């Protein structure tokens, strides 16, 4: 024992200077990220405190409303637009992902996957420009048709906007924007479904859809939900598409086709920020803080679902 | 010969291959003629939305009914779902094709030499260009890359090579959180940071770079982490066995092996932030003149240029719209180029691991 101990201490004792400097730098970089995030939260909070205490009469953008009255319609509009986008995008994304993973020939599938990845990179301002000038006039006839035939339904009631730039158009553009990311995640999950289960289902005489419903979808449920949540988080924070497409009036309304539409928090910040001054800036930053908290909650929930799923998927 | 006329037992009770097409054509003809006659009787225009909606619905209903009668309920459902999946794909493809066609078609009008050699200074009508915005975008993005790549790469190295315990878990979690930060919130953060440092009214390019690096760091960390994890353990252990210290192993063995993947990730991260509008609108502001200095005054960028040309159209509205489209086309070309370049790098410099 006495002969072994010096060798062991020598082994442990060698901590070269280079190693210490390098690992120190790496740890430092990690800590910088933590500090950065803490700074984001801290700055947003300190900058938004004046917004809660300020006299509404002193701030021009509040137009005499209290902060809660000002922010209520914005929160409603943000969630409403994002939910509409998700309702449209989710079935489509699952359909495309299934098409790529289980229906399309392999060579075509890889090309489509590549195209979808490229589309995820198209800047949001381009989607906004396209939505406002090209897409809105195209969908307007469909809005007129919906209004004439289903006008008794509250969502489609009211007078159809003359420009087509309504909350539904904004949500549809948002849906197009979140399609690529949702499709990409769903495709990954579908491709991971156990091959043996699929082949067993087909061998027992199941049709392709029965195979998908029995072997693929149950396996992919968690992944699909988390893809939807991540897409929702993206739709909540998306700014330019809504800013450029929507003609805003800042009310709470569920009518999808009229020219009086609720607006969203990010769009409101982008529109009002250049002209804001004094406490007006603080009010806008406070709305940004609310947005941050909402997206944080949605994303955290998505991560939680993913992690819970990965704990059980080892069963295969 | 009765053997020839008798139906093939393997395809009996199935609809023929051309059934889908035939049913679709039938639905289109029936509803097209029907709606056309009604419209003609009322002297109205041909109702396109009603035609599209009824044709698609009619096709699906007809096909399912036909398939149910000939093939039975299970195959009918299979056929329905297959058609819905293909329909979802086609439906999603149309806006995307429309987007590309419109941007290229309308952007080409002003995609000329003047557009890339002049700024917007003293331009109120036609003419003018985006040189100031291109310079601003390049400088701001380069600064953001300079900030985020060292931090992101070192963090990835920490997570893969050193990270143990609560600190590594906390960093992983908060990098995930950072991925979800809305771009406009990053802009608000950079704005209030520079408000604190330099006082009110301090809009500058550097502030925009800080905002962009908030969005860029998590992407760089994630992609570099994945790439470093792909480096085989054997390589590291061979290096340790030769007595090479850990830091030299990382610098000389691990990073060179993963460098193709890391640079691909960095390029994709750049492609992602180069089109960001909202944070730059808040932090870097907008101007019509050239500004080469990141630390002095408002700085234009390409996405903000597109937004601004559309939102505040001048007297000659068409000139502004044309410039907006040309700017959008430029932006898309830059992003596509970066993506292609990233893929090329990944393909050409991929390590030959010889497995």
User: Mean pLDDT in each 10-residue stretch from start to end of chain B (355 residues)?
Assistant: 55 74 84 81 74 83 85 84 86 84 87 80 77 89 93 92 86 86 89 83 85 92 90 90 90 88 89 88 83 82 88 81 89 88 81 55
Whether residues B103 and A238 touch (CB distance < 8 A) is answered with no
Residue B353 in domain? no
Q: Which of B85, B110, B135 is the last residue of a domain?
A: B110
Residue B355 in domain? no
Q: Which residues of A touch B155 (CB under 8 A)?
A: 26, 29-30, 32-33
Closest residue to A47, CB basis, from B159, B186, B192: B192
Q: What is the pLDDT of residue B242?
A: 93
User: Which residues lie closer than 8 Å to A248 by C-beta, 6 or more apart?
Assistant: A261, A263, A267, A268, A271
Residue B31's domain spans which residues?
A: 2-110
Q: Which residues of B touch A273 (CB under 8 A)?
A: 281-282
Buried b / exposed e along A157-184 (16+ C-beta atoms within 10 A): ebebbeebbbbbbbbbbbbbbbbbbbbb
Q: Which residues of A touch B321 (CB under 8 A)?
A: 133
Q: Measured between CB atoms, does A113 come within 8 Å of chain B?
A: no
Residue B123 CA, chain-centre distance (Å), reads 32
Cβ neighbourhood burial of B97 (10 Å; 0-12, 13-18, 19+): exposed
Q: What is the pLDDT of residue B177?
A: 82
Phi-psi region of A255 (alpha: psi -120 to 50; beta: other; left: phi over 0): beta
Higher pLDDT, A118 or B97: B97
Residue A17's nearest CA partner among B247, B249, B155 is B247
The reply to whether B124 and B73 lie within a common domain is no
Residue B203's nearest CA partner among B299, B302, B130 is B299
Q: What is the DSSP string of B2-24?
A: HHHHSPPTTTTTS--TTHHHHHH
Q: Which of B110, B137, B160 is the last residue of a domain?
A: B110
Q: Measured between CB atoms, does A299 come within 8 Å of chain B?
A: yes
The reply to whether B184 and B323 lie within a common domain is yes
Structural domains of chain A, with CATH: 54-315 (1.10.3720.10)
Residue B121 in domain? yes
Closest residue to A125, CB basis, from B167, B195, B277: B277
Q: Which residues of B touch A274 (CB under 8 A)?
A: 281, 285
User: Which residues lie closer than 8 Å to B65 by C-beta, 6 or more apart?
Assistant: none
Structure tokens at B206: 């550097």
Q: What is the pTM of this model?
A: 0.85
Residue B303 in domain? yes
d(CA B260, CA B353): 13
User: Which residues lie closer than 8 Å to B206 by C-beta, 6 or more apart?
Assistant: B143, B194, B294, B295
Q: What is the pLDDT of residue A10?
A: 44
Whether residues B88 and A91 touch (CB distance < 8 A) is answered with yes
Residue B25: count other Cβ atoms within 10 Å of its Cβ: 12
Interface probe with A: pick from B180, B195, B247, B331, most Cβ of A within 10 Å: B180
The reply to whether B129 and B89 lie within a common domain is no
CB contact residues (below 8 A), chain A span 147-166, against chain B? none
Structure confidence at residue A315 as a pLDDT band (50, 70, 90): very low
Q: What is the pLDDT of residue A14?
A: 59
Higher pLDDT, A242 or B201: A242
Q: Measured between CB atoms, does A19 come within 8 Å of chain B?
A: yes
SS3 B298: coil
Cβ neighbourhood burial of B17 (10 Å; 0-12, 13-18, 19+): exposed
Structure tokens at B173: 């979690």
Q: Which of B110, B131, B161 is the last residue of a domain?
A: B110
Interface probe with A: pick from B87, B88, B213, most Cβ of A within 10 Å: B88
The yes-or-no verdict on residue A259 having pLDDT over 70 is yes
Q: What is the pLDDT of residue A309?
A: 61
pLDDT digits (tens, 9 = 90+) for A2-21: 444 444 444 455 567 888 88
Q: Which residues of A touch B275 (CB under 8 A)?
A: 121-126
Structure confidence at residue A1 as a pLDDT band (50, 70, 90): very low
The reply to whether B201 and B274 lie within a common domain is yes
The reply to whether B73 and B161 lie within a common domain is no
Interface probe with A: pick from B53, B67, B95, most Cβ of A within 10 Å: B95
> How many domains does chain B divide into?
2
CA distance A277 to chain B (A): 10
Q: Measured between CB atoms, does A307 come within 8 Å of chain B?
A: no
Name the DSSP class of B245. -
Whether residues B176 and A125 touch (CB distance < 8 A) is answered with no
| Chain A with chain B: Cβ pairs closer than 8 A | 264
Q: What is the pLDDT of residue B241?
A: 93
Closest residue to A121, CB basis, from B245, B272, B281: B272
Write the CA distances from B106 to A80, A235, B324, integer angstroms. 32, 27, 9
3-state secondary structure chain A: CCCHHHHHHHHHHCCCHHHHHHHHHHHHHHHHHHHHHHHHHHHHHHHHHHHHHCCHHHCHHHCCCCHHHHHHHHHHHHHHHHHHHHHHHHHHHHHHHHHHHHHCCHHHHHHHHHHHHHHHCCCHHHHHHHHHHHHHHHHHHHHHHHHHHHCCCHHHCCCCCCCCCCHHHHHHHHHHHHHHHHHHHHHHHHHHCCHHHHHHHHHCCCCHHHHHHHHHHHHHHHHHHHHHHHHHHHHHHCCHHHHHHCCCCCCCCCCCCCCCCCCCHHHHHHHHHHHCCCHHHHHHHHHHHHHHHHHHHHHHHHHHHHHHHHHHHHHC
Whether residues B245 and A19 touch (CB distance < 8 A) is answered with yes
Whether residues B174 and A33 touch (CB distance < 8 A) is answered with yes
The reply to whether B98 and B126 lie within a common domain is no
Whether residues A212 and B81 touch (CB distance < 8 A) is answered with yes
């Amino acid at each position: 024992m006495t002969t072994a101990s010096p060798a062991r201490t020598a082994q442990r004792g060698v901590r070269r200077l280079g190693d210490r400097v390098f690992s120190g730098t790496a740890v430092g970089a990690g800590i910088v990220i933590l500090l950065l995030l803490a700074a984001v939260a801290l700055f947003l909070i300190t900058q938004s405190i004046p917004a809660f205490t300020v006299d509404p009469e002193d701030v021009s953008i509040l137009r005499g409303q209290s902060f809660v009255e000002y922010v209520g319609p914005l929160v409603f509009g943000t969630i409403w637009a994002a939910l509409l986008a998700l309702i449209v995008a989710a079935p489509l994304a699952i359909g495309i992902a299934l098409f790529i993973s289980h229906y399309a020939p392999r060579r075509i599938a890889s090309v489509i996957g590549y195209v979808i990845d490229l589309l995820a990179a198209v800047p949001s301002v381009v989607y906004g420009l396209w939505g406002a000038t090209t897409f809105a006039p195209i969908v307007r006839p469909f809005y007129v048709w919906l209004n004439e035939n289903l006008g008794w339904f509250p969502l489609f009631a009211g007078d159809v906007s003359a420009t087509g730039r309504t909350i539904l158009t904004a949500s549809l553009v948002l849906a197009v924007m979140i399609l690529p990311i949702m499709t990409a995640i769903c495709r990954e999950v579908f491709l991971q479904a156990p091959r043996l289960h699929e082949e067993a289902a087909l061998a027992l005489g199941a049709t392709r859809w029965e195979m998908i419903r029995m072997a693929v979808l149950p396996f992919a449920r968690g992944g699909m939900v988390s893809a939807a949540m991540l897409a929702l988080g993206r739709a909540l924070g998306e700014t330019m598409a809504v800013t450029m497409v929507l003609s805003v009036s800042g009310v709470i309304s569920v009518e999808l086709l009229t020219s009086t539409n609720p607006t969203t928090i990010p769009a409101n910040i982008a529109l009002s920020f250049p002209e804001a001054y004094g406490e007006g800036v603080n009010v806008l930053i406070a709305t940004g803080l609310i947005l941050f908290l909402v997206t944080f909650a949605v994303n955290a929930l998505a991560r939680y679902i993913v992690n819970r799923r990965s704990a059980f998927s080892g069963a295969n | 010969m009765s053997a020839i006329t008798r139906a093939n037992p393997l395809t009996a009770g199935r609809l023929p291959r051309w059934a889908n097409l035939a049913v679709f054509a039938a639905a289109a003809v029936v509803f097209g003629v029907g709606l056309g006659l009604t419209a003609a009787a009322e002297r109205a225009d041909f109702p396109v939305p009603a035609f599209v909606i009824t044709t698609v619905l009619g096709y699906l209903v007809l096909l399912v009914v036909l398939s149910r009668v000939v093939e039975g309920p299970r195959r009918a459902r299979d056929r329905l779902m297959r058609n819905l999946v293909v329909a979802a794909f086609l439906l999603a493809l149309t806006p995307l094709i429309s987007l590309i066609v419109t941007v290229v078609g309308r952007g080409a009008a002003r995609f000329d030499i003047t557009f890339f050699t002049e700024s917007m200074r003293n331009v109120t009508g036609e003419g003018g260009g985006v040189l100031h915005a291109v310079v601003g975008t390049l400088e701001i993005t380069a600064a953001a890359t300079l900030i985020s790549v060292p931090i992101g790469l070192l963090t990835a190295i920490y997570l893969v090579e050193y990270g143990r315990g609560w600190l590594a878990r906390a960093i992983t979690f908060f990098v995930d959180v950072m991925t979800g930060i809305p771009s406009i919130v990053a802009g608000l953060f950079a704005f209030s940071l520079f408000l604190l440092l330099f006082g009110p009214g301090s809009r500058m390019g550097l502030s925009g770079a800080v905002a962009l690096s908030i969005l860029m760091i998590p992407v760089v960390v994630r992609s570099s982490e994945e790439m470093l994890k792909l480096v085989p353990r054997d390589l590291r252990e061979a290096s340790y066995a030769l007595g090479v210290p850990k830091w030299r192993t990382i610098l000389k063995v691990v990073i060179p092996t993963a460098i193709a993947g890391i640079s691909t990730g960095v390029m994709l991260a750049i492609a992602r932030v180069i089109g960001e509008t909202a944070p730059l609108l808040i932090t870097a502001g907008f101007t019509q003149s050239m500004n080469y200095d990141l630390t002095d005054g408002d700085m234009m960028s390409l996405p903000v240029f597109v937004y601004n040309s559309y939102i505040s159209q001048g007297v000659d509205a068409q000139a502004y719209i044309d410039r907006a489209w040309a700017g959008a086309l430029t932006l898309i070309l830059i992003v596509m180029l970066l993506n292609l370049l990233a893929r090329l790098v990944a393909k050409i410099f991929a390590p030959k691991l010889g497995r």
